[in-house]
Amino acid sequence: MRDISLHLLDIVQNSVEARATLIIVKLIIAPSKKRFYMVVRDNGCGIEHSRLENLTDPFYTSRNTRNVGMGLSLLNASVKRSFGKLRLYSAKSRGTIVTASFSFKSIDLPPLGDIRATILSLITLNPHIDFKIILKSKTCSYTLDTRYIKEILQNVEINNPIVIDFLRQKLETDLKNFEEEYKMMTLEELERIREEALERVQLRKEKTGTRIVVGMATCGISAGARPVLEAIMDEVSKRGLTDVIVAQTGCIGLCKYEPIVEVTRPGENKVTYIKMDPEKARKMIAEHIVNGHAIKEWTIESIQL
């Protein structure tokens, strides 16, 4: 899994290659929204509107040095895994804005990574570019503007070893609270996810309602059991049938009658449905599960074994 600092490095590198002279980076922890935002804005050459929709395609790039552009594609994939959004805005000759949001509620939220080293590298390896770094969180409000630093340094380069050492120490001190808060938000959400998962497991153990079991062995899957299972789960969810447990099992032993669905209601004998399809599955939920009337012509009892 790529971390935030590596995604940041990729996106800023795009700005560098777009000949930007000013790059603004914002990293924001929003506790109330349970979200983390990464925004990179530059004043580079910009991108034509017709090309924007291709930028998250891993096989698309505007560069001549290589055939595949992975930076935005990898970021987009990471954002999607984290229940977030990626927004791109660009105008020719005016610059580009990349905004990525990540949810702390996602177990796939990437770690922050070595954000200090990344920021230091960006500044010192691109001394001809001005950077404005903004970090905001509940406990941190931090801004580092290299234009101000360069103004004070005057004829001393910002990538001078003494200056680099100063910046390293400053970043280590100033970013500590931000990094700790990111970790705490992540840990809190992981604990919440854990408790929610345990609660669901306990509810499943305590439930004594209707049980629907779909045969999902190779014979069942090849006969079409997967769409049957999906239809059942969808119908149960739509109807809010919280006392219904949907499960799957291996081969039931009646391969030629697959897909097979077994229904067990409290206080009633098990009913085995055969040769099911998604449409039948939905009707079974309505008639048998909701109204309590088994559809006998679809059951194993309706045929001569």
Q: Are residues 183 and 212 in the same domain?
A: no
Supply the pLDDT for residue 57: 54
Instruction: Mark whether 93 and 162 lie in a shared domain.
Output: yes
Domain residues for 212? Answer: 207-302
Are residues 136 and 236 both part of a single domain?
no
What is the model's pLDDT at position 4?
A: 94
Last residue of a domain, one of 141, 158, 187: 187
Domain match, 102 and 51 both:
yes
Residue 198 covered by a domain: no
Contact between 90 and 47 under an 8 Å Cβ cutoff? The reply is yes
User: CA-to-CA distance for 158 and 292, rounded, in angstroms?
Assistant: 77
Tell me if 195 is assigned to some domain: no
The pLDDT assigned to 160 comes to 92
Verify that 156 and 32 share a domain, yes or no. Answer: yes
Domain assignment present for residue 26? The answer is yes
Instruction: Let me know if residue 130 belongs to a domain.
Output: yes
Give the CATH number of the domain where residue 163 resides: 3.30.565.10
Instruction: Based on the fold, state whether residues 152 and 263 are members of the same structural domain.
Output: no
Q: Is 211 helix (H, G, I), strand (E, B) or coil?
A: strand
Name every residue whose Cβ is closer than 8 Å to that of residue 16 and which is 6 or more positions away in sequence: 23, 126, 129
Q: What is the pLDDT of residue 67?
A: 36
Length of the chain as a residue count: 305
Q: What pLDDT is stored for residue 206 in this prediction?
A: 56
Domain boundary (134, 155, 187) is at: 187
Same domain as 237, residue 154: no
Which of 229, 245, 221 lies closest to 278 in space, CA to CA?
Answer: 229
pLDDT value, residue 3: 92
Residue 81 in tokens: 């895994």
Same structural domain for residues 171 and 278? Answer: no
**Nearest 5°: phi and psi at 145?**
-120, 115
Number of domains in the chain: 2
Q: Does the residue 201 lie in any domain? A: no
- C-alpha to C-alpha distance for 229 and 247, rounded to whole angstroms: 9
**Average pLDDT by consecutive 10-residue portion of the chain (305 residues)?**
87 92 96 93 84 57 46 86 90 91 88 93 94 92 94 91 92 89 80 70 62 88 89 88 84 87 90 93 93 91 70
The reported pLDDT for the residue numbered 68 is: 34
Q: Helices 161-174 and 115-125 meet at what angle, rounded to 10?
A: 150
Residues 24 and 171 in one domain: yes
Residues 217 and 169 in one domain: no
Q: What is the pLDDT of residue 106?
A: 84
Whether 286 and 169 share a structural domain = no
Which tokens sit at 113? 């990574």
**The last residue of a domain, from among 187, 220, 235:** 187
State the CATH number of the domain containing residue 295. Answer: 3.40.30.10
Question: Is residue 183 in some structural domain?
Answer: yes
Residues 113, 63 share a domain: yes
DSSP state, 256? G
